[in-house]
């Protein structure tokens, strides 16, 4: 396998960067934290007024629909047979801890826009609104219908996006492409793979939360019995850690990801992934032990996250619980993975309650016309940037569109380096302003090339 190098780096464009950064900063300063079980419509209506101020042409020329604070815009094209949906969510997660810049300051300093939502995902919302604002100013009418979908409950897995999908279903709209968050332009996506890469999400894993319950008659801690609830839960966790019941398999999407990335890696990577016909069984066996990231690409993951026990320091619990978060892989999807947990739990006299769960999504065919259109747009917007289809381990609102669209592609056209990845949902979230012009250009090209 011939060695390759990634040639693309973002090119500074100070005038456009400042214009776009100032708009993004204003969006950051309007706090849009979402909370589970709360609609908060009035808060988001205020944010909509800000969007109207920032993007007046969009609001003058596109048909706007608001549903409990979530937004749907319709831009009528010359044709309606291949409609395009551009997505990004309005809401953000809470900002706790001590930040270098206040989390809702929207400070612009040293080529960075600081604040919660700068990377996740007000940058995308700003970019596709700005793209259409500029196309409208040029008098452009799109070849195909365009929809903008922006829910206000993505971070809490709420019903904002499902309601938007219901509205499109009611209208009889079947999108040709849905472009949501999930992938991005990632700097050094794997150890040893230098440079920037367009990591385009083609497979989103499912997710479930299971409660493991241990029951007893309780009692005083001064004469503890064997196999009390917490002991049984502890044995279960150790067994789960030592003998993971989830099967590893290199599916087509993971295989294509590694094969596309291998030429840009070190010699050992080119050797192994360039000869999967020989090394695939070995890699499937060894990769889960190499890194958590590698394991997540090949199997359903199981993470213990929360525990409860007695309310008293000297009281044995009548009930102790352990919560597990699962991310389902297609070859061992929701029902089979949950059943594997049930079988293991039964060995320790434990009950299993499914709190919530949804299966992995149908993958996008990286050889389809829709994916190849996105790939060509990326290559036009970012010359020299390699495009890598990849398996997503996180969740997005795009999964709700799977019922009406065969090509739900997860890609935000901004650069995420290690600092950006760490800052999302964490401290000191920021985005480099140099990312913004390319993001706007990407959405403009996608709209114009979808003919």
* Domains and their CATH numbers in the chain: 14-204+361-449 (3.40.630.10), 206-358 (3.30.70.360)
| Residues listed for the chain | 451
d(CA 447, CA 442): 9
Strand 70-75 to 351-358 pairing: unpaired
Q: 70 preceded by cis ω (within 30°)?
A: no
Q: Are 74 and 150 in contact (CB under 8 A)?
A: no
Quick one: which H or E segment has residue 349? none
Strand partners, 212: 322, 352
Q: Are 182 and 204 in contact (CB under 8 A)?
A: yes
Q: Give the number of other Cβ atoms within 10 Å of residue 241's Cβ.
A: 10
Q: 121 preceded by cis ω (within 30°)?
A: yes
Strand partners, 52: none
For residue 232, CA distances in Å to 228, 229, 264, 325 come to 6, 5, 47, 19
d(CA 23, CA 32): 16
Quick one: which H or E segment has residue 414? strand 408-416
d(CA 16, CA 26): 16
Per-residue pLDDT of the chain (451 residues; tens, 9 = 90+): 889 999 999 999 999 999 999 999 999 999 999 999 999 999 999 999 999 999 999 999 999 999 999 999 999 999 999 999 999 999 999 999 999 999 999 999 999 999 999 999 999 999 999 999 999 999 999 999 999 999 999 999 999 999 999 999 999 999 999 999 999 999 999 888 999 999 999 999 999 999 999 999 998 899 899 999 999 999 999 999 999 999 999 999 999 999 999 999 999 999 999 999 999 999 999 888 878 888 899 999 999 999 999 999 999 999 999 999 999 999 999 999 999 999 999 999 999 999 999 999 999 999 999 999 999 999 999 999 999 999 998 899 999 999 999 999 999 999 998 877 777 889 999 999 999 999 999 999 999 999 9
What's the pTM value of the predicted model, to 2 decimals? 0.94
User: What beta strand segments (E) does 2-135 contain?
Assistant: 63-67, 70-75, 79-87, 108-109, 112-114
d(CA 112, CA 433): 5
């Amino acid at each position: 396998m011939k060695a390759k190098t990634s040639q693309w780096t973002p090119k500074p464009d100070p005038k456009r960067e400042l214009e776009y950064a100032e708009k993004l900063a204003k969006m950051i300063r309007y706090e849009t934290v979402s909370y589970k079980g709360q609609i908060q419509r009035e808060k988001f209506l205020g944010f909509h007024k800000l969007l109207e101020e920032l993007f007046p042409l969009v609001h003058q020329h596109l048909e706007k629909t608001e549903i409990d604070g979530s937004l749907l815009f319709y831009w009528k094209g010359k044709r309606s047979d291949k409609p395009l949906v551009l997505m990004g969510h309005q809401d953000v997660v809470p900002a706790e801890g001590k930040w270098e810049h206040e989390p809702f300051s929207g400070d612009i300093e040293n080529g960075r826009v600081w604040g919660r939502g700068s990377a996740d995902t007000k940058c995308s919302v700003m970019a596709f609104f700005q793209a259409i604002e500029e196309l409208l100013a040029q008098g452009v009418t799109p070849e195909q219908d365009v929809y903008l979908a922006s829910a206000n409950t993505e971070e809490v897995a709420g019903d904002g996006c499902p309601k938007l999908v219901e509205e499109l279903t009611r209208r009889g709209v079947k999108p040709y492409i849905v472009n949501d968050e999930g992938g991005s332009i990632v700097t050094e996506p794997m150890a040893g793979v230098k440079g920037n890469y367009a990591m385009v999400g083609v497979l989103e894993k499912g997710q479930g939360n299971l409660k493991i319950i241990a029951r007893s008659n309780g009692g005083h801690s001064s004469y503890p019995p064997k196999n009390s609830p917490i002991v049984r839960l502890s044995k279960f966790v150790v067994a789960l850690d030592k003998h993971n019941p989830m099967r590893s398999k290199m599916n087509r999407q993971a295989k294509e990801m590694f094969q596309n990335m291998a030429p840009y890696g070190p010699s050992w990577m080119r050797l192994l992934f360039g000869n999967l016909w020989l090394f695939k069984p070995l890699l499937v066996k060894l990769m889960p032990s190499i890194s958590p990231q590698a394991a997540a690409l090949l199997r359903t993951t199981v993470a213990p996250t929360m525990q409860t026990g007695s309310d008293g320091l000297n009281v044995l619990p009548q009930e102790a619980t352990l919560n597990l978060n699962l991310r389902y892989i297609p070859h061992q999807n929701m029902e089979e993975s949950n059943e594997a947990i049930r079988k293991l739990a039964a060995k320790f006299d434990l009950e299993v309650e499914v709190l919530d769960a949804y299966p992995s999504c149908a993958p996008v065919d990286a050889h389809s016309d829709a994916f190849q259109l996105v790939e060509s747009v990326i290559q036009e917007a970012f010359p020299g940037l390699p495009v890598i289809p990849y398996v997503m381990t996180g969740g997005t609102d795009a999964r709700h569109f799977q019922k009406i669209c065969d090509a739900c592609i997860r890609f935000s056209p901004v650069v995420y380096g290690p600092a950006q990845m760490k800052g999302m949902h964490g401290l000191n979230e920021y985005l480099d302003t140099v990312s913004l012009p390319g993001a706007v250009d990407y959405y403009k090209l996608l709209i114009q090339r979808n003919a």
